[in-house]
A and B are shown apart, each in its own frame.
Chain A
C-alpha cells in the first residue's frame, strides 16, 4: 500500500508539473489544461505547472467578486468549490496523502535525521483560520477603490508559491529579480521557517496551515470512502499512532479515525497487526454489523 501511495505521489507531482518547455517558450504553461483545478496544492505560476491551483483560483474569484457582480456575473467560486467538493465527497482528504506535491515534499523533509518535535494540538485549528480569514474574508472585504481585492493567502502565506514559482521565475528572469523587494524577502523567510519546521515535525503545513486540506477535511466523515475502527479487535499496540503522519490517536478514543486531520494515507490500515482498521466505500453505515462493501485491512 505504501509503495502504491509513493508511486501515486510521484506520478501526480510529475503530471502537475509536466511543462518543461518554459526555458524556451512562454515562462509558464498557457494551454487548456489550466482550466482544470489540480486536486493538490501546486502553484499555477510554477513554470512547469500544467493545471491551476484551486486555492489561488478561489481567491482570484473572490477578490474580483464585487466587480463581477457589478457586471451582472456571479463568480463566487462555484467551479472551484464544486470541483473540490466532488473530490472531497468521494475520498475526503485522500488527495492530501496521495496526490499533493507539497505533501510529498513534507514527507521527504521529515525523513532527515534531525531531532523531532511533537505537534501542538491547538494548531489543528490553523487551517480553518487560514481558510476563513485569508482565503475567503480578506479577499472579499479588503478591496481597492475599484472593488478589487487581493489574494491574501498567496501573497502573505503560501510557501508553495515561493518555492515552486517565486524562486524559479526570479532565477530565470532578471526583470522579476529587480522587482523583488521586501515582500519576496518576507515570503522567503516564511518558506525557510516552514521547511525547517517540516524537518522536525511531521506534515506541519497540512496540520496547521493548509486551507485546501481544511476543505477536504470537512468531507472525511461523510465521504464515500471512510475508515472504520474496530475497538474489539484492537490490541492497544499504538502502531497506528506511531506511524500516523498527522498524529491521530484513535485507538484510545481521543480522536475520531475519520477526523478532519486524517490525510487518508492508509498507513494505519497497513500496519495494524490485529486488522482493527478497515476501509469501506459506500453509504454511511449506522451499524457496524450491517456493514456492506467493507474491505478488510
Chain B
C-alpha cells in the first residue's frame, strides 16, 4: 500500500485542484492578483 502512496497523493491533489476550479476559485485568485495588494507593500 505504502508503495503507491505517491500515486494516491497525486490523484488526491488533482481532485482537490479540480474541486477548486469547479467551485470558482480561479477568478477569485485572479482578481486578487491583478489588484495591488496594499498589505503586501506595507500600506494597508
CB pair B29–A61 under 8 Å, yes or no, is: yes
Q: How far is the CA of A80 from the CA of B32 in the complex (A)?
A: 13
Partner of A81, one of B20, B33, B40: B20
Instruction: Judge if A176 is at the interface, Cβ distance under 8 Å.
Output: yes
Partner of A150, one of B12, B17, B33, B39: B39
Mark interface residues in B1-36 (1 if CB within 8 Å of A CB, else 0).
011111101101111111111011111111011101
Partner of B3, one of A28, A35, A283: A283
User: Do A82 and B18 form a contact, CB below 8 Å, given A61-B28, A166-B42, A284-B2?
Assistant: yes
CB pair A78–B42 under 8 Å, yes or no, is: no
CB pair A73–B24 under 8 Å, yes or no, is: yes
Q: How far is the CA of A155 from the CA of B40 in the complex (A)?
A: 5
CB pair B32–A79 under 8 Å, yes or no, is: no
Instruction: Judge if A20 is at the interface, Cβ distance under 8 Å.
Output: no
Residue of chain B at shortest CB distance from A226: B6
User: Do A32 and B30 form a contact, CB below 8 Å, given A223-B6, A284-B5?
Assistant: yes
* Secondary structure of the A contact surface, majority rule: helix
In the assembled complex, how far is the CB of residue B39 from the closest CB belonging to chain A, in whole angstroms?
4
In the assembled complex, how far is the CB of residue A121 from the closest CB belonging to chain B, in whole angstroms?
28
Residues of chain B within 8 A (CB-CB) of A245 are none
**18 further contact pairs, Cβ within 8 A, besides A78-B25, A82-B19, A283-B7:** A32-B30, A44-B32, A44-B33, A57-B29, A60-B29, A75-B23, A79-B26, A81-B13, A82-B13, A85-B16, A151-B39, A158-B40, A161-B40, A162-B41, A183-B43, A185-B42, A222-B5, A285-B3
A residues touching B (Cβ–Cβ < 8 Å)?
27-30, 32, 34-35, 37, 43-45, 51-53, 56-57, 60-61, 64, 68, 73-75, 77-86, 88-90, 150-151, 154-155, 158, 161-162, 165-166, 169-170, 176, 179-181, 183-188, 219, 222-224, 282-286
